[in-house]
Structure 1
Amino acid sequence: MSCPMCEKRGIAGEAALTEEERKNGVRIALAGNPNCGKTTAFNAWTGAHQHVGNYPGVTVEKKEGWTSSGGQKVLLVDLPGTYSLTPYSMEERVVRDVLAPENAAERPRAVIDVIDSATLERGLFLAVQIRELGQSVVLACNMMDEARRAGMTIDLDRLSERFGVRAVPTVARSGEGLDKALALALEEAKKPSEPLVISYGPDVDPALLRMTRLIEEKKLLTSRYPARWTALKLLEGDEVLRAQTEGADAETARELEAVRSALAEHLASTLETTPDAVISDYRYGFINSALRGGVVRKSSSKDRLAFTDKLDKVLTNTILGPVIMLAVVYFMFWTTFIVGAYPQGWVEDFFGWLGEMMTGVLPEGLVQSLVVDGIIGGVGGVLSFVPLILIMFLIVSFLEDSGYMARMAYMLDRVMRAFGLHGSSVMPFIIAGGIAGGCAIPGVMATRTMRSEKERMATMMTLPLMTCGAKIPVFLMLTAAFFADNQAGIMFAITLCGWAVALLVSLLLRKTVFRGASTPFVMELPPYRLPTLRSILTHTWERGWMYIKKAGTVILAISVILWAALTFPALTEEQSAPFEAKIAALDERLAPLDEAIETLKAQLEGEGSADAAMQTMLASLTQQKEELENAKADEENALASETVRNTWGGRIGQFVEPLFRPLGFDWRTDVALISGVAAKEAILSTMGTAYSIGETDPDEPDSLSARLAADPGWSKTVALSLMLFVLIYSPCFVTLVVLKNEAGGWRWLFFSMVFNTAVAYLVAWGGTLVGRMIWG
Structure 2
Amino acid sequence: MNLKIALVGNPNCGKTTMFNALTGSSQYVGNWPGVTVEKKSGKLKNHSDVEIVDLPGIYSLSPYTLEEVISRNYLLNEKPDAIINIVDSSNIERNLYLTTQLLEMGIPMILALNMTDIIRKKGDIINLKALAKRLGCEVIETSAVKSEGCVEVAQKAIALAKAKQKPTPLQLFSTEVSETLKQIESTILESKPVEHADFYAIKLFERDEKAIEQLNLPDSALKKITALTEACEESMDDDSESIITFERYQAIGRIVSDTIKKKASTGMTTSDKIDRIVTNRFLALPIFAGIMFLMYYVSVSTVGAWATDWTNDVLFGEIIPPGVEGFLLSIGTADWLNSLILDGIIGGVGAVLGFVPQMFVLFLFLAILEDCGYMARVAFIMDRVFRKFGLSGKSFIPLLIGTGCSVPGIMASRTIENERDRKMTIMTTSFIPCSAKLPIIALIAGALFPGSVWVAPSAYFIGVAAIIISGIILKKTRGFSGDPAPFIMELPIYHVPGVKGVLIHMWERGKSFIKKAGTVIFVASIAIWFLSSFNWTLEMVDTGDSILASIGMIIAPIFTPLGFGSWEFTVATITGLIAKETVVSTFGVLFGFAEVAEDGAELWPMLQLSLSQLAAFSFLIFNLLCAPCFAAIGAIHREMGNAKWTLIAVGYQTVFAYVISLIVYQVGLFFTGNGFGFGTIVAILMIAVLLYLLFKKPAMQKKQGQPLTAVKEV
Specify the TM-score bucket, using the shorter chain as the normaliser: 0.7 to 0.9
Q: CA deviation at 1:503?
A: 2.8
Contact 1:115/1:123, CA 8 A, preserved across alignment: yes
Tell me whether 1:774 sits opposite 2:671 in the alignment.
yes
2:692 is aligned to none
**Which residue in 1 is equivalent to 2:125?**
153
Distance 1:261 1:494, change over 3 A: farther
| Change in 2 beyond 3 A, CA 1:652/1:412 | same
Q: 1:728-771, CA deviations, whole angstroms, 9 ceiling, x for partnerless residues?
A: 11121222223333333444444433332222222222222232
Equivalent residues in 2 for 1:251-650, closer than 5 Å: 252-253=221-222, 256-257=225-226, 260=229, 266=234, 271=237, 273-293=238-258, 295-300=259-264, 302-336=265-299, 337-350=301-314, 351-353=316-318, 354-359=320-325, 362=328, 365-433=335-403, 438-486=404-452, 488-510=453-475, 511-515=477-481, 517-569=483-535, 643-650=542-549
The alpha-carbon deviation at position 278 of structure 1 amounts to 2.2
Contact 1:135 1:195 in 2 (8 A): no
Q: CA deviation at 1:200?
A: 3.7
Instruction: Indicate the SS of the match to 1:119.
Output: helix
Q: Distance in 1 between matches of 2:391 and 2:187?
A: 44
The answer on whether the counterparts of 1:382 and 1:685 sit within 8 Å (CA) in structure 2 is yes
Query: Deviations for 1:127-156, whole angstroms, at most 9, x for unmatched residues?
Result: 101112222321100111121112122110
CA contact (8 A) 1:731 1:752 kept: no
Q: How far apart, in 1, do the equivalents of 2:588 and 2:112 lie?
A: 53
Q: Does 1:47 align with 2:24?
A: yes
Distance 2:56 2:419 in 1: 20
Q: Does 1:85 align with 2:61?
A: yes
Which of 656, 659, 665 aligns to 2:555? It is 656
Which of 44, 49, 52 is the equivalent residue of 1:67? Answer: 44
Contact 1:127 1:137 survives alignment (8 Å): no
Number of residue pairs the alignment of both structures matches: 663
Kept in 2: contact 1:139–1:165 (CA 8 A): yes
Question: Does the aligned pair in 2 maintain the 1:716–1:771 contact within 8 Å?
Answer: no
Change (3 A) 1:175 1:514: same
**Residue in 1 that maps onto 2:106:** 134
Q: CA deviation at 1:100?
A: 0.3
Q: List alignment gaps of at least 5 residues for structure 1.
A: 1-22, 577-639
Is residue 590 of structure 2 the alignment partner of residue 690 of structure 1? yes
Distance 1:406 1:57 in 2: 28
Amino acid at match of 1:706: P
Deviations 1:190-230 (A, max 9, x none): 235367354544775565455333323222xx53541x432
For residues 435 and 635 of structure 2, the distance between their equivalents in structure 1, rounded to whole angstroms, comes to 17
User: 5+ residue gaps in structure 2?
Assistant: 675-714
The secondary structure found in structure 1 opposite 2:494 is: coil
Task: Give yes or no for the alignment of 1:211 onto 2:184.
Answer: yes
Structure with larger Rg: 1
Alignment-mate amino acid for residue 283 of structure 1: R
Equivalent position SS for 1:115: strand
**Equivalent position SS for 1:470:** helix
In the alignment, which of 621, 645, 657 is matched to residue 724 of structure 1?
A: 621
Q: TM-score, normalised by structure 2?
A: 0.87
Offset, 1:51: 1.9
TM-score (norm 1): 0.80
Out of 55-64 and 36-45, give the one that drifted further: 55-64
Residue 194 of structure 2 aligns with an amino acid whose one-letter code is: S
Q: 1:184 aligns with which of 151, 156, 163?
A: 156
Give how far 1:255 is off: 5.2
Output the amino acid matched with 2:339. S
Q: Which amino acid aligns with 2:22?
A: W
Partners in 1 of 2:185 and 2:448 — Cα distance? Answer: 72
**Does structure 1 conserve the Cα–Cα contact (< 8 Å) formed by 2:21 and 2:500?**
no
- Find the aligned partners of 1:648 and 1:694 in 2 and give their Cα distance: 22
TM-superposed CA distance for 1:558, in Å, is: 0.6
Aligned position for 1:734: 631
Per-residue deviation, 1:411: 1.0
Shift of 1:59: 2.4
For 2:271, give the aligned amino acid. Answer: T
Give how far 1:250 is off.
5.1
**Inter-partner Cα distance in structure 2 for 1:119 and 1:308:** 14
In the alignment, the residues of structure 2 paired with residue 72 and residue 439 of structure 1 have an alpha-carbon distance, to the nearest angstrom, of: 31
Q: Answer yes or no: is the 8 Å Cα contact 2:109–2:166 preserved in 1.
A: no
Secondary structure at 2:113's aligned position in 1?
strand
| Matched AA of 1:312 | D
Structure 1 residue 259, shift from structure 2 partner = 5.2
C-alpha RMSD over aligned residues:
2.8
Cα offsets for 1:530-550 (capped at 9, x unmatched): 113222222222222222222
Contact 1:571 1:646 in 2 (8 A): no
Asked if the contact 2:587–2:593 (Cα under 8 Å) also holds between the matched residues in 1, the reply is no
Q: What is the letter of the counterpart of residue 151 of structure 1?
A: G
| Aligned residues with identical type, % of pairs | 36
Helix, strand or coil at the partner of 2:390? coil
Aligned partners of 2:184 and 2:228 also within 8 Å: yes
**Aligned-pair CA distance for 1:391:** 1.5
